[in-house]
Amino acid sequence: MREKTNKACTISNIAEYAQVSRSTVSRVLNNVNTKVPVSAATRAKIAEAIRHFDYMPNANARRLSHNKSFIIGLQVPAHHLSRYVFTDYNLIGAMHGLEAALLPSDYKLLLLFQSEKYMQKHEYLSLLKSKSIDGLLIWGATCGDHYDAALADYPVIFLNSLPAGASGFEWICHDNHQGSLELVGRLIEAGARRFRYLSGPLSNSISLDRYCGFREALAQAQIPFDEERERWFGDFHRDSARALTAPFFETSGDLGFDAIVCSNDMMASGVYDAATAAGRQPGKDFQLAGGDGADDCAQYPLKTFRSDRFALGFRGINRMFELIDAAGPQEPRQEYLPVQVQL
C-alpha cells in the first residue's frame, strides 16, 4: 500500500466544512427516501464538501444504526466446491438470477461453505442472530442436514432442494414432482410399459420428488413397478451413469425394458452413451428421459423437463427482500416453480 490517504473522513468533517449540522448531511446522503426537504443551496455546499474530501459514508456505522447488514448469505454444500460442483449448472444458473436481482439493490452476497464445523456450531443461526447477515439462502440441502427450528424466526429460504422436515420453513423449488409426472405420462402415452428408473441419491429431495412423480404416473396407468429390481441408483453424473448401465445393453436380444427414466439429464446422457456404444438407439429401441433441461446435454436428444434456474435465483432474492422488509412474523411460503416438459 502506498501513502495512506485514508485520513478518516466522517460525516462531521463534511458538516464542519459545509457549515451545517451532521443531521443535514445525513439527510442529503439519504435524500432518496426522506420526506424532509433540504434547500438547494445547502445541498450544493454539502456536495462540494463531499467532493473536497472524497467522502464515503462508513458502512459499518450505517449497519449499526439500521440494525441491518445489507448482506444476504448464500450457503452452499462443501461438495459443490469439488470438481463436480462446477457441473452444477443448477447452481450456476441460479447465481445468474441472484446476481441480477441483487444488482439494483443495496445488498451483497456472502458465500458460506457448509462445512462440518459450520453445521455443528449452528453458525447459520449465529450469523442471523448477530445481524451479521439479514437473511439466508440455503442451496442444496439434503435430508441428512439438520437445521435448528429457530431458523424459522428469520428470513431463511431453502432453494432447489429441501432438508427433512422442511414443512416449517420457507422454500422455493422447481416442481419436480409435476414435471416427472407429466413427462412419464407422455412416455406412457407413447407406448412405454416396461420401465427402468435410474435414480439420484435419495438423500436429495429432487431425486425423491422426481421418483414420486414417476411412480404416480405409473400408478395412474396401472403399470406395475418393482422398486427392488427395476430401480438403479446413480450419483447425478454422466460417467457413473454410463458405467452403471453399460452392462444392461450387453445383449443382442430383448433389453427387457422399453423406457429408462433418469433423475436428471446428466445421467440420461450417460445412459445414452452406454446405449449407443452397444449399438442401441435411444428414442427408437427404448425411450430415454431425464430432467433439468441441462445445457450441457443439449446435444443429446433426451426427453426431459426444463426448469428455469435463473428464475429460481431471481425469485429467491426478491422473496428474501420481502421477508427482510416485513416487520412482523411471516407465515412460511412454499413455492413450486413450474417446469416445462420437452420431448
Partner DNA sequence: ATGTTGACTGCAACCGGTTTCATTTTTCGA
Partner DNA sequence: TCGAAAAATGAAACCGGTTGCAGTCAACAT
Return the number of the residue (54 or 331) whose C-beta is nearest DNA.
Answer: 54
Beta carbon of residue 62, minimum distance to its own copies (angstroms, whole number): 8
Q: Is 125 in the site for DNA (CB under 7 A)?
A: no
Looking at 54-62, 161-169, 199-207, 269-277, which segment touches DNA (CB under 7 A)? 54-62
Return the number of the residue (129 or 333) whose C-beta is nearest DNA.
Answer: 129
Beta carbon of residue 330, minimum distance to DNA (angstroms, whole number): 21
Contact present, 259 and 197 (Cβ < 8 Å):
no
Q: Which does 202 bind (CB under 5 to 8 A by kind): its own copies, DNA, none?
A: none
Phi, psi torsion values for 204, nearest 5 degrees = -105, 125
Q: Is 30 in the site for DNA (CB under 7 A)?
A: yes
Q: Which residues, in sequence order, are CB contacts of 244 under 8 Å at separation 6+?
A: 198, 232, 234, 270
Looking at 63-71, 89-97, 185-193, 249-257, which segment touches DNA (CB under 7 A)? 63-71
**How many CB atoms sit inside 10 A of residue 201's CB?**
16
Q: Is 37 in the site for DNA (CB under 7 A)?
A: yes
Question: CA–CA separation, 124 vs 121, rounded Å?
Answer: 8
**How many CB atoms sit inside 10 A of residue 78's CB?**
13
Sign of CA dihedral 120, 124, 127, 128: negative
Q: Is 31 in the site for DNA (CB under 7 A)?
A: no
Looking at 16-24, 172-180, 204-212, 221-229, which segment touches DNA (CB under 7 A)? 16-24
**How many CB atoms sit inside 10 A of residue 279's CB?**
9
Eight-class DSSP state of 174 = E
Binding residue for DNA (CB under 7 A) from 31, 48, 52, 61? 61
Q: Which does 17 bind (CB under 5 to 8 A by kind): DNA, its own copies, none?
A: none
Return the number of the residue (111 or 327) whose C-beta is nearest DNA.
Answer: 327
Alpha helix stretches (DSSP H) within the chain = 11-18, 22-29, 40-53, 59-66, 89-102, 116-120, 123-129, 176-189, 205-220, 227-230, 238-245, 265-277, 309-325
Question: CA–CA separation, 231 vs 260, rounded Å?
Answer: 10
Cell match 451413469: residue? 241
DSSP for 40-67, please give it: HHHHHHHHHHHHHHT----HHHHHHHHT
Q: Which does 12 bind (CB under 5 to 8 A by kind): its own copies, DNA, none?
A: DNA
Q: Is 66 in the site for DNA (CB under 7 A)?
A: yes
Beta carbon of residue 23, minimum distance to DNA (angstroms, whole number): 3
Q: Is 126 in the site for DNA (CB under 7 A)?
A: no
Q: Which residues, in sequence order, are CB contacts of 317 under 8 Å at separation 6+?
A: 72, 97, 98, 101, 102, 105, 107, 137
Binding residue for DNA (CB under 7 A) from 16, 22, 145, 203? 22
Beta carbon of residue 156, minimum distance to DNA (angstroms, whole number): 21
Question: CA–CA separation, 266 vs 284, rounded Å?
Answer: 20
C-alpha cell recorded at residue 117: 464445523
Q: Which does 229 bind (CB under 5 to 8 A by kind): its own copies, DNA, none?
A: none
Q: Which residues bind its own copies (CB under 8 A)?
A: 1-6, 56-61, 63-64, 67-69, 71, 74, 78, 81-83, 85-89, 92, 95-96, 99, 103, 108-113, 115, 117, 126-127, 129-132, 150, 152-155, 168, 295-296, 323, 326, 328-330, 332
**Contacts with DNA, residue ranges (CB under 7 A):** 8-12, 19-24, 26-27, 29-30, 34, 36-39, 41-42, 57-58, 61-62, 64-67
